[in-house]
Every structure is written in C-alpha cells, then in structure tokens.
Amino acid sequence: LITIADDPRTLGELGEFGLIRALTQRLPPSPRALVGIGDDAAVLATPDGRVVATTDFLLEGRHFRRDWSTGRDVGHKAAARSLADVAAMGAAPTALLVALAVPPDLPVGWALDLAAGLAAECERAGASVIGGDTAQAPDVRLAVTGLGDLAGRPPVLRSGAAPGDVVAVAGPLGHAAAGLALLSSGLRETSPSLVAAHLRPEPPYDAGPEAAGLGATAMIDVSDGLLADLGHVARASGVLIDLDPALLRPAEVLRTPGGSSARPGNPDHAQALRWVLTGGEDHSLVATFPPGLTLPARWTVIGRVLSSQDMLANQGTPTGQGALGVLVAGQPWQGGLGWDHFA
Amino acid sequence: LITIADDPRTLGELGEFGLIRALTQRLPPSPRALVGIGDDAAVLATPDGRVVATTDFLLEGRHFRRDWSTGRDVGHKAAARSLADVAAMGAAPTALLVALAVPPDLPVGWALDLAAGLAAECERAGASVIGGDTAQAPDVRLAVTGLGDLAGRPPVLRSGAAPGDVVAVAGPLGHAAAGLALLSSGLRETSPSLVAAHLRPEPPYDAGPEAAGLGATAMIDVSDGLLADLGHVARASGVLIDLDPALLRPAEVLRTPGGSSARPGNPDHAQALRWVLTGGEDHSLVATFPPGLTLPARWTVIGRVLSSQDMLANQGTPTGQGALGVLVAGQPWQGGLGWDHFA
C-alpha cells in the first residue's frame, strides 16, 4: 500500500494511471466480481438472473462543498446515494462503478480519503467497487452506479401501494436537512450528529430486502423529501397517502438543534416538522405494507394509504398541492414540497 | 409524443420532471428490462448469470464542445464510449444508464436531440436506455454506464495475449483524431467523413462477440490511441506487441485530409501514420488471435505478439518508450503515446 494520505503531491503530478493505482489499492476486491477494476469493463456474477441498476451524480457545488465535506464524507455520500436506491427496490447492494473527475491541483490525500469513504460505505452495504472512470475537470464530480441482487424476490416498485396499506419508515427523517441548515448558518458545532447526518447519511440498506421479505407493496428512498418521494409512490400507485403528524414525531435532537427546548406549537417544533416532511438526503427507506403485519422495531408507522376516491369525496378534484397525492392529517400540506433539481 | 424539438423554452422553464418525461418519450423501452425508467432503479434480465458493466464520463469542454457537436452527436458519442467497452469484453451491449447534468438555460430541443442520439446509437448496438439521473450544472455533463451480456462465453480480457498470436483491428484507426485536427483548424468542410468520425464514432459492436467466438485471446477498444491501448494489453499479458507499418496502411481519406496527394515519405503520410498509431476515440476493437485462424474480412491483421524476452535479447532492458510494450517495425515508437487525462 502506498501511504500517501499526506502526500504533498497533486493529482496532476501523480498522473492518471498513478491515481487509478492508488485508488484501487484502497478498494478491496469484490467476491462477486469475475473481472474487477482494470479491464475495459467489470464482470459481475448475477446468479439471480437479474441485476438491479441505478446511477446518480454527486457534483461539487451542487451536492457537496469541499469546505464542508472531507474526501471521506464525499466517498460515503456518493456510495450511499446509489446504494440506497438499490435497497429501495428490495435488493441487496452488490457493486459500485465510480466515475470520478478531479482538478489537477487536488491533493492526492483528498482523493485517497474519497476512496476510503467509498470502501467504508460499500462495506456497510455489503458491496464493492468493481470499476470506474477518471477524468479531469475544474471541480470534483462523481457519477456512481449501484448494482444489486434481488435474491429471487420480485422488486418492490413505487406502483404497488393499495388502499388500506400502512406507511412506515426505516431510518431518520429531516436530520440531513437540519444538518445542512446548521452548516449553512455557520452552526456546525451545535449538533455534530445532525451535521454528520447531512455529510454522511447512513441508509439502512438491509431494511430494503427486509421490507421485500415482509411483503412491502411499494418502497422508495427519501432523497428529495418525504412528501415529494411519497408523492411519487401515490401517483405511481393511483392512491392517496395520509400522514399522521402525531406519528411523525421529530426526533428530540431535531426539535432542539440549537439546544433550546421545543414543544408543539412553538417555532422550533414547526421547523422540525418541516424538516421531517420536506428535508431530503436522509436516504431512509419508506414503504407501504399490507395492514395487520407486525413490523420489526426499526419500521415506524407514519400514515396510511387511502383510495384516491377518498379525497374526491371530501374535497372535490385534487388541485395544486393536493395533486401531489400526499396529505398531512387529511389536508394538503401548505409548505414547500421538497427538492426540484431545476428550481 | 410532445413535439418540442423546436420548443423555445429552456430546461429551467420545463422543470426536472418535465425534462425526464420528454427524454423518456424519446427512449424506446427495453425488451430486457423487467423494470425500466421511472422507479428507484432499473431491473435488467441477465439470463447468463453474469453482467458486464462499465461507466464513462462525457464532459463538455473536455470530451466535446457544443459549438462543434449537436445534441444528437453527443448522444451518439456518449453511448458509443461505454458500449464499445462492453463489446471489447466480447459481450453484446444490452443496456445503458445515463446521468445527465444540464444548465437551466439549455434549449429543450438540444436535450431532446441528445436523447434521440442516445436512442439511435443504442439501436445500432442492440441496447436500450433503462435508467438515469438528472441534475443541474453550469455545463453539460454525462456519465454513461453500459451493461452487456456474455451469452455463456468467457470474457475476453486484456491479459490473455500470447507470443505467436496475431494482432488485428476491426474498425477505422486515426479517423477521429484527423477529424478533431480538422475541427481544431477550422477545416470542418474539408472532410465531413473524418469530422463525423470524431463527432459520432461508430464502434463495430458485433465484432466484439464475434472475436470472442473466434477465440480471441485479448481485446480492447481504441479509446486512448492504438499504441496506448495495446500497451495495456502488452503489460497485462506480459508480452511485447510488434506492429507492422506496412499493414497499418492509413486509409486514403486519412492521407489526403486536405485534398492533397500523399505518398510514404511526404509529411502528410507521416501525419496519417501518427493519427493511426496515437489517435484515440475511434472506439474500434483491437484483439489478439491465435495464429492460423482465418479471420472475417473486417478484421485487419496489423502485427504480432512476441515474447517479452525477444526485446530483452535485442535491446537490453526496456526503458522509456520501450517500456510501453509495443513496437513499430521492431523499434520503440519515438512519437507521443496517446491520451493521458491528466497531461
């Protein structure tokens, strides 16, 4: 192992093939890769006869800032974004392909930290980096492809939610958004755990196959915000989803990010609920399950699935926010909807 | 189908989900995708029990220029880069995942042209776009993941070339480099076919599985330049590769890109040979085959594989250019080596 975490050289001095060698040494080989890093393409075993595949950008200035995130943070986050999508299909993550563009003046150590973060998050998920690409760019850019294995089960789609199902979430809600708010306000030290939730989300990968095994009817990962992502489920399934604010209890840390006390009705509580409903990037999993199941403890029930007729009966044709297909305590949410990449 | 090729709107006005809808309408569904565009991830059938996977950037300003390339050109090239890597493993391309970042002021028509180019190149290769990601960026950025099927055959690696093998190429050499030179010199009209070879390379995808079926011992696609890419094969295989300049006859169009006559010995001929040896981005396939095979007509023999001892016996320890592992007429090439992304 070349020990160049403190290497004073830049990537421009190391060269493309030196960078690839150094990165590869930090990425453990995959037991499932028949051909790994170093050929024209990788070859991954897919004994199930199907492969789950998804790809995501992680762009400096858009998805992360180098003055907030270490290389290791960025590696964790890049892997988490794609592998959470794999888990949200009910699949176990198996492999990652990483396209990485870097400026020539990037310190070598930053790139090696990135590789360490990718490797560590892959290990959390049970996956490995099996290939990639490198290029030069004025800023750091990643595009990460996640692959996964359904182990014989049908995929859990967005379109299977049915009236009467319960809605449940595994993983935190609003923590990443609160962490981003603290970073943006220069309050990084106020709650290191919330800041960490933004910089290094920890999707509950194994909750994905677990939900599939329990008979989940629909599932999605919370990347754009709970309302926005459940809106995709509601529209794809042709249903309404009604969230119960009494069940959406924001975590204590979220209600007091500045250390102040917070009770329902005061501004901190309203802000916490907003983070829970519209904050993205937690990469928690939210799923619908048939009624009457006993769910494992990490799944918190937060609402139920209604027939789309229920809203028509109550309120006429859905319009405006109502068209989202997600209600909070039976009413359209009046706040923002979450993240639009072009807004 | 929304007919907005001439849509005066920008992508910022169309919005993220409007863009995704418009792109998706231009991308035919895949017969192999059990789940296609529109869920957290795609699910691709892999009846072989393995999947070939590779990922590549195509970045504006680095890999293409919008004043030279249309959206359609960029779509073709983005697909070709990844799918040629799949073919170079001996696999048939099956699917593409496309991450696309665009500036909000990009005309809608440009993005739709891009989708049309992706779809057309996928059709040439027998593949389909099955998923992707969209983001906002100050310039156009693509990261394309190609997937493929080995149909029961072993993958053709870089490491299998053996002394005595012949080296053969399918597809043009140096055309893309000559086209780039014409574009750079403002001579676009001089040879539209060379310019097209740069803007829209046409990898001979089916030559990949064909070579595998014929017993190719090693294969790579010519993306960085013939010498550079064969250097990867030589080093991975522990052999020397000796190219025969008499067999590397530059195509007529390459010897007379400016319309002048060119014979061996004059400057145009030397330039043409340089394009053939070091020009990248043709995405032709170069492979090594056991001696004595009768190769189909599209495979042109250009050299042979030697034992690495042959060079030691002739010239002592390889150093400098000789360390590349590729010789031209028994001698190290004295020109440049091809493309280094950090040079």
- Most B-contacting residue of A40, A62, A97, A339 (CB-CB within 10 A), to test interface: A40
Instruction: Provide, rounded to the nearest whole percent, the portion of chain B with pLDDT above 70.
Output: 88
Q: Would an 8 Å CB–CB cutoff place B46 in contact with chain A? A: yes
Phi, psi for B20 (deg, rounded to 5)? -60, -45
Q: Which residue of A has its CA nearest to B220?
A: A40
Q: Would an 8 Å CB–CB cutoff place A34 in contact with chain B? A: yes
The three-state secondary structure class of A210 is: helix
Q: Are B35 and A146 an interchain contact pair (Cβ–Cβ within 8 Å)?
A: no
Residue B342 has its nearest CB partner, among A16, A44, A150, at A16
- For residue A20, the number of C-alpha atoms closer than 13 Å in the C-beta half-sphere is 17
Query: Smallest CA–CA separation between B39 and chain A, in Å?
Result: 6
- Strands (DSSP E) contained in chain A are 33-35, 42-45, 50-59, 92-102, 128-136, 141-149, 166-170, 218-221, 239-243, 285-289, 299-307, 326-328, 331-332
Q: What kind and span of H or E run contains B43?
A: strand B42-45
- Mean pLDDT, to the nearest integer, of B81-110? 96
Residue with tokens 């390459």: B254
The three-state secondary structure class of B340 is: coil
pLDDT at B4: 46
Q: Would an 8 Å CB–CB cutoff place A80 in contact with chain B? A: no
Q: Are A148 and B54 an interchain contact pair (Cβ–Cβ within 8 Å)?
A: no
pLDDT at A254: 82
Query: Smallest CA–CA separation between A252 and chain B, in Å?
Result: 30
Query: Smallest CA–CA separation between A187 and chain B, in Å?
Result: 27
Residue B135 has its nearest CB partner, among A46, A57, A88, at A57
Structure tokens, B118: 């992706």
pLDDT at B314: 52
pLDDT by residue (tens digit) across B307-337? 987 765 555 444 444 457 999 999 988 775 5
Q: Which residues from chain B sit within 8 angstroms of residue A148, using beta carbons?
A: 41
pLDDT by residue (tens digit) across A278-311? 999 999 999 999 999 999 999 999 999 999 877 6
Residue A54 has its nearest CB partner, among B14, B41, B157, at B41
- The band of B87, judged by pLDDT with boundaries at 50, 70 and 90, is very high
More confidently predicted of A146 and B5: A146
pLDDT by residue (tens digit) across A88-129? 999 999 999 999 999 999 999 999 999 999 999 999 999 999
Q: Would an 8 Å CB–CB cutoff place B147 in contact with chain A? A: yes
CB A122 within 8 A of CB B78: no
Q: Are B53 and A11 an interchain contact pair (Cβ–Cβ within 8 Å)?
A: no
Query: Smallest CA–CA separation between A330 and chain B, in Å?
Result: 26
More confidently predicted of B123 and B12: B123
Query: Smallest CA–CA separation between A38 and chain B, in Å?
Result: 9
Q: Are B89 and A40 an interchain contact pair (Cβ–Cβ within 8 Å)?
A: yes
Query: Smallest CA–CA separation between B136 and chain A, in Å?
Result: 6
pLDDT at A310: 72
pLDDT by residue (tens digit) across B162-211? 999 999 999 999 999 999 999 999 988 889 999 999 999 999 999 999 99
- The band of B14, judged by pLDDT with boundaries at 50, 70 and 90, is confident
Q: Which residues from chain A sit within 8 angstroms of residue B50, using beta carbons?
A: 34, 43-46
Q: Are A342 and B221 an interchain contact pair (Cβ–Cβ within 8 Å)?
A: no
pLDDT at A311: 63
Q: pLDDT 10s digit of each residue in chain A, 343 long?
A: 344 456 678 888 888 888 889 899 999 999 999 999 999 999 999 999 999 999 999 999 999 999 999 999 999 999 999 999 999 999 999 999 999 999 999 999 999 999 999 999 999 999 999 999 999 999 999 999 999 999 999 999 999 999 999 999 999 999 999 999 999 999 888 899 999 999 999 999 999 999 999 999 999 999 999 999 999 999 999 999 999 988 988 887 787 655 444 444 556 778 888 999 999 999 999 999 999 999 999 999 999 999 987 765 555 444 444 457 999 999 988 765 554 444 4
Whole-angstrom distance, CA of residue A337 vs CA of residue A278:
6
Whole-angstrom distance, CA of residue B183 vs CA of residue B181:
5
Q: Would an 8 Å CB–CB cutoff place B136 in contact with chain A? A: yes
Nearest by Cα to A108 from A25, A1, A9: A9
Q: Are B41 and A52 an interchain contact pair (Cβ–Cβ within 8 Å)?
A: yes
- The band of B124, judged by pLDDT with boundaries at 50, 70 and 90, is very high
Instruction: Provide, rounded to the nearest whole percent, the portion of chain B with pLDDT above 90.
Output: 75
- Cα–Cα separations (whole angstroms), residue A299 to A170, A173, A216, B291: 5, 12, 12, 63
Q: Which residues from chain B sit within 8 angstroms of residue A132, using beta carbons?
A: 55
**Residues in CB range of A3: below 8 A, 6 or more apart:** none
pLDDT at A4: 47
Whole-angstrom distance, CA of residue B141 vs CA of residue B133:
11
- The band of B342, judged by pLDDT with boundaries at 50, 70 and 90, is very low
Residue ranges of B 268-287 with Cβ closer than 8 A to chain A: none
- Cα–Cα separations (whole angstroms), residue B114 to A70, B42, B44, B71: 34, 21, 23, 4
pLDDT by residue (tens digit) across B38-48? 999 999 999 99
Residue A43 has its nearest CB partner, among B17, B47, B155, at B155
CB neighbour burial string for A331-342, b if at least 16 within 10 angstroms, e if fewer: ebbeeebbbebb
Q: Which residues from chain A sit within 8 angstroms of residue B51, using beta carbons?
A: 43-44, 46, 51, 147
Q: Are A97 and B57 an interchain contact pair (Cβ–Cβ within 8 Å)?
A: no
CB A176 within 8 A of CB A226: no
More confidently predicted of B77 and A7: B77
Q: Which residues from chain A sit within 8 angstroms of residue B95, using beta carbons?
A: 53
Quote the mean pLDDT of chain A.
Answer: 89
Q: Are B19 and A342 an interchain contact pair (Cβ–Cβ within 8 Å)?
A: yes
Q: Which residues from chain B sit within 8 angstroms of residue A145, using beta carbons?
A: 53, 55, 97, 145
pLDDT at B13: 86
Query: Smallest CA–CA separation between B253 and chain A, in Å?
Result: 29
Residue A97 has its nearest CB partner, among B17, B145, B150, at B145
Q: Which residue of A has its CA nearest to B14?
A: A342
Nearest by Cα to B229 from B288, B273, B154, B269: B288
Q: What is the DSSP string of B75-113?
A: HHHHHHHHHHHHHTTTPEEEEEEEEEEE-TTSBHHHHHH
pLDDT of B289 strictly over 60: yes
Q: Would an 8 Å CB–CB cutoff place B230 in contact with chain A? A: no
Q: What is the DSSP string of A110-146?
A: HHHHHHHHHHHHHHHHT-EEEEEEEEE-SS-EEEEEE
Q: Would an 8 Å CB–CB cutoff place A301 in contact with chain B? A: no
pLDDT at B309: 79
